[in-house]
């Protein structure tokens, strides 16, 4: 099966510009997640979609970040206007998790990430 696909792999923009990152999850995965890693630091949670609904957006840094998942398929993450501190690698992940009982672990499948550099 195809994995999680992210585009672009690398984007370099000027401060104040807009960038849109796209994620195509594994087909059939209702759950889609965005994470971010600033250089040398932890991979941090941004938000979680279940189908087209935002389940948890507690990790979104501020209102310059807008995530959408129209139709419950692919998702976009827009940063507008971009600031220097937004530089990092943005990971998308998906999972089939539906609240299984015995093994509650939710195993996420990650994409290769989109590296954003804001100059």
Contact 108, 93 (CB under 8 A): yes
Out of 55, 73, 80, 85, the only residue in the binding site for other proteins (CB under 8 A) is: 55
Which CB, 84 or 105, lies closer to other proteins?
A: 105
DSSP code of residue 110:
E
Q: Is 116 in the site for other proteins (CB under 8 A)?
A: no
User: The tokens of 11 are what?
Assistant: 């984007």
Q: Is 82 in the site for other proteins (CB under 8 A)?
A: no
Out of 11, 31, 75, 114, the only residue in the binding site for other proteins (CB under 8 A) is: 31
Q: Is 28 in the site for other proteins (CB under 8 A)?
A: no
Q: Is 23 in the site for other proteins (CB under 8 A)?
A: no
Count of residues near other proteins by CB under 8 A: 32
77's CB contacts (< 8 A; 6+ apart) are: 20, 21, 23, 34, 46, 65, 66, 67, 90, 92
Residues in contact with other proteins by the rule CB under 8 A: 3-4, 9, 31, 33, 35, 37, 40-45, 48, 55-56, 91, 93, 95, 97, 99, 103-113
């Amino acid at each position: 099966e195809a994995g999680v696909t992210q585009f672009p792999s690398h984007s370099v923009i000027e401060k104040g510009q807009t960038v849109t990152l796209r994620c195509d999850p594994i087909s059939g995965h209702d759950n889609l997640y965005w994470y971010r890693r600033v250089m040398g630091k932890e991979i941090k949670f941004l938000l979680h979609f279940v189908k087209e609904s935002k389940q948890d957006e507690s990790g979104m840094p501020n209102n310059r970040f807008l995530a959408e998942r129209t139709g419950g398929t692919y998702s976009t993450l827009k940063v507008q206007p971009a600031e220097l501190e937004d530089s990092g690698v943005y990971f998308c992940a998906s999972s089939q998790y539906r609240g299984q009982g015995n093994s509650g672990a939710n195993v996420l499948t990650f994409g290769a990430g989109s590296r954003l550099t804001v100059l």
